A and B are shown apart, each in its own frame.
Chain A
């Protein structure tokens, strides 16, 4: 009895979440792919289905013959899409580097803090992550506006005489991404730096290393797992970011998440937005697999 119960329990623990994710996470991607290969139609839903499952195998074969790469051809013909993909990757890349540069000293300071206050510091880094993403992005509008708080402050202390134009430029997007994703970078860096044996740095200093070269030769190499995890956690979602470019970026800002949203909501062109999503996924598949690999390895070490 117990053995049968055990087997059933073990199976269920795997099967239930597995089936759920297959149905609600993986199959939807297959549908996206399928719709990206169909043609736009003036109907509801606004595309002509490729497969007619009622016709069985023959229906599927007939469907494969009807695959239309029109949407992909359309994407390559319109320079707008290529530009949007390029600028998304570039903006995400620059923002990731900026986030790393800002997060590193914070994580390092936290890892060196007296162990009694470390949990509090950790909590303070995580806390903003619990407040709404939308709210945090919104908060920056009032700060960055031409007549906003930052310009008021800088003009009152006499640093600038003309208001800086930051809102609706790429700088606002960088600030928004750095701000929103900072905890994602600080946490893996902190956990890598906290594990580090500080006597290694001291040994390097005793042996005549300058503090800077001790950092580059000892501290930084040991923190690389944290750097990689943090960069992936920021870069991948940032490429497809929608809220930040929409609220902080200008009308000229091209980011693919925004393009996809507009294609879908404003133009109601589902096959083209499915094709946009498919290509975005193809761009991100290598970093995502890299991320998964790094996570699985980290789990293996924790075991």
Chain B
């Protein structure tokens, strides 16, 4: 039995206060009547009303959502493949390079990734815009998916796959009917992670996007440089709300799935 000392509790409370207080303050001041974000002048939702009349902002939000949905989906397929390759085939030519290319983007400063991808697109004569943005997002998010799915695959009991193969299932149907259902929660959380990373990205997007494909973070950044306004607080609050709801749904879904899986396994063994 572990003892949870007062020191432990205090450090957790202080730590979480540090993590959450800035976000809470930002949300509170998005409802401020005054144009100043540091002086409270009464409750108001006028910044939200103003926001929904800002067509440029809504366009940017739409671009961001489309890029995120496409790139997260493709990145999830590629990342899951990469995770399979990393865990299943421990020896193939160039494996060191492969794992290097999976791990390096996780820590690579975004300015380097962004610049290098931009120079690739220029070198091959690909006009910068929506699609270059999407390709860049697929590339950096697939590595995060790969790591998430890989950690699930490492604890995966391969004997059930072997059983399926012995019973005559093809590798593809084994993957689709046995492996995928088991790793599905990890694949799904990889997809959600890729989606939020894509929605969030500023630096790589700024390098790889072109005219007509301005994303919401790029828009927010250019407004922030002009100064802090409650309108930005309002956009941020909406984004935080979306993420909070998304994470909540994801955790409920994965918990249910996990409970279902445990129940199924028990039922299978009970027979």
Contacts and interface: CB of A to CB of B under 8 A. Distances in A.
B110 A17 contact: no
A218 interface: no
A241 interface: yes
> Which of under 10, 10 to 19, 20 to 34, or 35 or more describes the interface residues of A?
35 or more
B187 interface: no
A284 interface: yes
B84 interface: yes
A302 B29 CA distance: 45
Contacts of A100: none
A139 B22 contact: yes
Interface string A29-44: 1011001000000000
A97 to B, nearest CB: 17
Nearest to B101: A21
Residue of B97, B120, B228 with highest tally of chain A CB at under 10 A: B120
Contacts of A6: 170-171
A150 to B, nearest CB: 10
Contacts of A303: 154
A135 B26 contact: yes
A144 to B, nearest CB: 10
Contacts, number: 267
B138 to A, nearest CB: 8
Nearest to A143: B22
Given A18-B85, A113-B8, A102 B18 contact: yes
A105 B108 CA distance: 28
Contact of A296 (B99, B111, B199, B224): B99
Contact of A14 (B23, B92, B224, B244): B92
Residue of A25, A102, A121, A291 with highest tally of chain B CB at under 10 A: A25
A27 B120 contact: yes
Main secondary structure of the interface of A (DSSP, over half): helix
B106 to A, nearest CB: 8
B266 to A, nearest CB: 21
A302 B239 contact: no
Residue of A24, A232, A291 with highest tally of chain B CB at under 10 A: A24
B190 interface: no
Contacts of B89: 10, 13-14
> Which of under 10, 10 to 19, 20 to 34, or 35 or more describes the interface residues of B?
35 or more
B19 A105 contact: no
Interface in A20-68: 20-22, 24-29, 31-32, 35, 45
A25 to B, nearest CB: 5
A13 B84 contact: yes
B171 A10 contact: yes
B99 A292 contact: yes
Contacts of A299: 86-87, 150, 154
Contacts of A103: 15
Interface string B2-27: 11110111011001101110110110
Contacts of A113: 2, 4, 8, 12
Contact of B111 (A13, A182, A242): A242
Interface string B135-162: 1101100100010001100110000000
B200 interface: yes
A135 B239 contact: yes
Given A134-B220, A138-B236, A243-B203, A45 B122 contact: yes
B3 to A, nearest CB: 7
Given A17-B82, A21-B102, A24-B136, 16 more contacts: A16-B81, A24-B117, A24-B139, A28-B117, A106-B11, A106-B12, A113-B8, A114-B4, A135-B240, A142-B25, A142-B38, A143-B22, A261-B111, A289-B100, A292-B104, A299-B150
5 contacts: A10-B88, A143-B22, A145-B38, A186-B15, A270-B119
